[in-house]
Amino acid sequence: MSESAVVRSEETQKSQVDAETLSQVIAEKHIGDRIRRLRLKKSMGLVELGQRTGLSASFLSQLETGRVVPTLRNLARIAMVFSKDLSYFFESDPSAVFRIHRRKERVRLPQTGVEFPTYFFESLGYMVPDRQMDPYFAEFVPLTKEMEPKAHMHPGFEFLYVLEGELELRHGEQGFLLGVGDAVYFDSSIPHAYQCQGKKPAGAIIVTLHQSTSAMPLRAVNAKGLGKSATGEAVKASGADVAGM
């Protein structure tokens, strides 16, 4: 091979994209993580996403974990399902999320959908964009004869930690009494309701998780049971800032 041919061969190799470099670039864009976040935000399983895109659940799983390199055609199919532009997968990641919610800046809101609210709540994450969970501080007031606890439900899971007072949690057909320091993690797609027990308000921290119930196993409630059946009509909460409340 002539010297000029060797030089041309070396230049050609330099101009070609190395497969390892390509994989690194794709990994830095966190495309798999972005697909997974979109899917979980819609409470969508891999099988359902596969049905909508024409891709297998196995392939989508490998795509989310970075074991396969996506093609533009496959990304376009996924983007269309979530009403996103193809460029969404290649945009630079925003800066790390860090938000402080001062007590004086929070808004106290009443329970929605009832004339006489049994609790009031404050969002602790309303300034966080595209958040994966919604934290709240909730105050449950003692019941009067006009009040009636009303059950609600929403996709995902919920965590509750009692700060003060006593609180009854109804989950499905069961009732549980919670005191200071008690915590509960439960499937929030099952109708649930809260009720203050005692003459003083009960306070709690509540976190709702935006996750499909098919993505995680059902957690057993660990609390002292009351043996009562749940009452109240199940209703779905509306609005991003009041999801689950």
**pLDDT for 85:** 86
Residue limits of CATH 2.60.120.10 in the chain = 103-242
Q: pLDDT digit string (tens) for 165-214?
A: 999 999 999 999 999 999 999 999 999 999 999 899 999 999 999 765 44
Element (H, E) at 171: strand 166-171
Query: Could you tell me where the DSSP H helices lie in 56-193?
Result: 57-64, 72-81
Question: pLDDT tens, 100-148?
Answer: 888 888 889 999 888 899 999 999 998 887 788 999 999 999 999 888 8
Angle at 65 between CA 64 and CA 67, to 5 degrees: 110
Question: CA nearest 192: which of 203, 208, 181?
Answer: 208
Q: How far apart are CA 149 and CA 143, in angstroms?
A: 9
Helix then strand count (H, E) for the chain reads 6, 12
Q: Which CATH class is domain 103-242?
A: mainly beta
Q: Which residue has the tokens 């958040």?
A: 131
What's the mean pLDDT when you consider all of the chain?
Answer: 79
* Residues forming CATH 1.10.260.40 domain(s) in the chain: 3-90
| pTM for this predicted structure | 0.54
3-90: in CATH 1.10.1040.10:
no
Radius of gyration (C-alpha) of the chain in whole angstroms: 25
34 in Cβ contact with 87 (< 8 Å): no
Q: H-helix or E-strand containing 184?
A: strand 183-187
The pLDDT tens digits of the residues spanning 95-107 come to 667 888 888 888 8
